[in-house]
């Protein structure tokens, strides 16, 4: 998509995006309802003493990058976006934990529950992660998934039938709905400023986030935010999504690795990493902080890739993307 360079082009782009439903999952969607502001709004808020057009686009880009790089977030709050979304209720529960938005959700007390539930294909069932109690592991074989897909279809059909029979019997909608599965789709208007939207996207686009909500975040970011705020999006990828946070302890480990590398050079072995680890980790059989540090150093090419083969070494999960973040708790 060609990025707008004039107000007229911007207006055309906005009109093309408004109410366009971007499909997510099997029956969900995200659509932009309205947008207030653009890259220039962020710049203008940061330069309150200047008029519009007093700087070049290249200067605007540098300022936006500086603001994000140094976490000067207030100017990003001057732009707002409003969406309408259709999302499964279990996914929506995670979504509304981000309490910095204005929300108005479809009410199943006033209206019939949406007659749609998220389904799972045979090859989409995931195993429980071995090292992350709230995450998924590898995909299960289709031969196993097929039975659970069939059971899911039967369960959802039965639940919907019971719900409709209750309504036909005159039971109140607010009570008839109570046994509907969390896979039932709901719809909502969701309005949020750009700063808090970027925070939402940083968390929910992360590989540690549940796959389903990650698909919504990716759609919002790539299909809507990127074309409307191209300079902000570029900086956001560079300084949040594809960035790496090094702690004080991480830096000390790196310094020790470099100092002891000698003639062997880098990347260091896993044994060398263990020798250079922070003293507070050394006595621990399991240390999440040590594991995270190891993954960062592998990604930087400072430690050899692969699982360590020494007693007491930290476990090493596969690296799914080039982005390495500290572990985040994401319900």
Are both 103 and 202 inside the same structural domain? yes
Q: Would you say residue 294 lies in a domain? A: yes
pLDDT, tens digit (0-9, with 9 covering 90-100), for 216-248: 999 999 999 999 999 999 999 999 999 999 999
Distance CA 30, CA 22 (A): 5
Number of domains in the chain: 3
Mean pLDDT of all residues in 278-297:
95
Are both 104 and 147 inside the same structural domain? no
Q: Would you say residue 212 lies in a domain? A: yes
**CB-based contacts of 162, cutoff 8 Å, min separation 6:** 179
**CB-based contacts of 139, cutoff 8 Å, min separation 6:** 123, 124, 125, 126, 127, 145
Q: Would you say residue 1 lies in a domain? A: no
Are both 137 and 270 inside the same structural domain? no
Question: What is the chain's mean pLDDT, rounded?
Answer: 90
Are both 80 and 175 inside the same structural domain? no
Whether residue 313 has pLDDT greater than 80: no
Q: Would you say residue 66 lies in a domain? A: yes
Are both 234 and 261 inside the same structural domain? no
Q: Would you say residue 77 lies in a domain? A: yes
Are both 237 and 259 inside the same structural domain? no
Q: Would you say residue 2 lies in a domain? A: no
Whether residue 316 has pLDDT greater than 90: no
Last residue of some domain: 195, 221, 241?
Answer: 241
Are both 140 and 165 inside the same structural domain? yes
Are both 294 and 213 inside the same structural domain? no
Last residue of some domain: 179, 208, 228?
Answer: 179
- Whether 251 is catalytic is no
Are both 90 and 170 inside the same structural domain? no
At 315 the pLDDT is 43
- The answer to whether the Cα torsion of 239, 242, 244, 245 is positive or negative is positive
Residue 11 sits in which domain range? 7-113+183-241
Q: Would you say residue 221 lies in a domain? A: yes
Distance CA 314, CA 320 (A): 18
Are both 276 and 165 inside the same structural domain? no
Half-sphere exposure of 269 (CA within 13 A, CB side): 8
Last residue of some domain: 139, 164, 179?
Answer: 179
Which residue is catalytic, options 10, 86, 204, 290?
204
Are both 139 and 235 inside the same structural domain? no
Q: Would you say residue 194 lies in a domain? A: yes
At 225 the pLDDT is 98
Are both 196 and 150 inside the same structural domain? no
Residue located via tokens 């782009």: 13
Backbone φ and ψ for 172, nearest 5 degrees, come out as -60, 140
What is the pTM assigned to this prediction? 0.87
The percent of residues above 90 in pLDDT, for the chain, comes to 82
pLDDT, tens digit (0-9, with 9 covering 90-100), for 25-60: 999 999 999 999 999 999 999 988 455 555 566 789
């Amino acid at each position: 998509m060609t990025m707008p360079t004039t107000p007229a082009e911007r207006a055309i782009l906005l009109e093309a995006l408004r109410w366009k439903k971007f499909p997510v999952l099997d029956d969900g969607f995200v659509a932009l309802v309205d947008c207030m502001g653009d890259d220039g709004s962020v710049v203008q808020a940061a330069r309150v003493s200047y008029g519009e057009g007093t700087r070049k686009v290249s200067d605007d880009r540098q300022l936006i990058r500086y603001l994000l790089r140094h976490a000067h977030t207030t100017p990003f709050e001057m732009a707002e976006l409003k969406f309408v979304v259709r999302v499964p209720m279990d996914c929506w529960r995670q979504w509304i934990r981000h309490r910095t938005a204005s929300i108005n959700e479809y009410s199943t007390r006033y209206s019939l529950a949406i007659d749609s539930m998220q389904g799972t294909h045979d090859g989409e069932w995931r195993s429980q992660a071995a090292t992350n109690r709230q995450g998924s592991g590898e995909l299960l074989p289709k031969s196993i998934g097929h039975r659970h897909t069939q059971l899911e279809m039967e369960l959802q059909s039965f639940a919907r039938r019971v719900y409709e029979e209750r309504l036909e019997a005159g039971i109140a909608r607010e009570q008839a709905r109570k046994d509907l599965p969390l896979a039932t789709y709901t719809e909502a208007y969701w309005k949020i400023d750009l700063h808090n939207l970027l925070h939402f996207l940083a968390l929910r686009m992360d590989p540690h986030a549940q796959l389903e909500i990650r698909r919504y975040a990716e759609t919002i970011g790539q299909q809507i935010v990127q074309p409307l705020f191209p300079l902000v999006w570029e900086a956001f990828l560079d300084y949040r999504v594809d960035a790496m946070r090094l702690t004080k302890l991480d830096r000390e480990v790196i310094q020790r690795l470099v100092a002891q590398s000698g003639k062997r050079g880098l990347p260091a072995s896993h044994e060398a990493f263990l020798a250079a680890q922070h003293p507070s980790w050394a006595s621990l059989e399991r240390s999440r902080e040590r594991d995270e540090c190891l993954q960062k150093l592998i990604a930087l090419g400072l430690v050899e890739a692969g699982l360590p083969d020494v007693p007491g070494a930290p476990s090493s999960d596969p690296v799914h993307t080039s982005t390495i973040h500290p572990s985040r708790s994401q319900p």
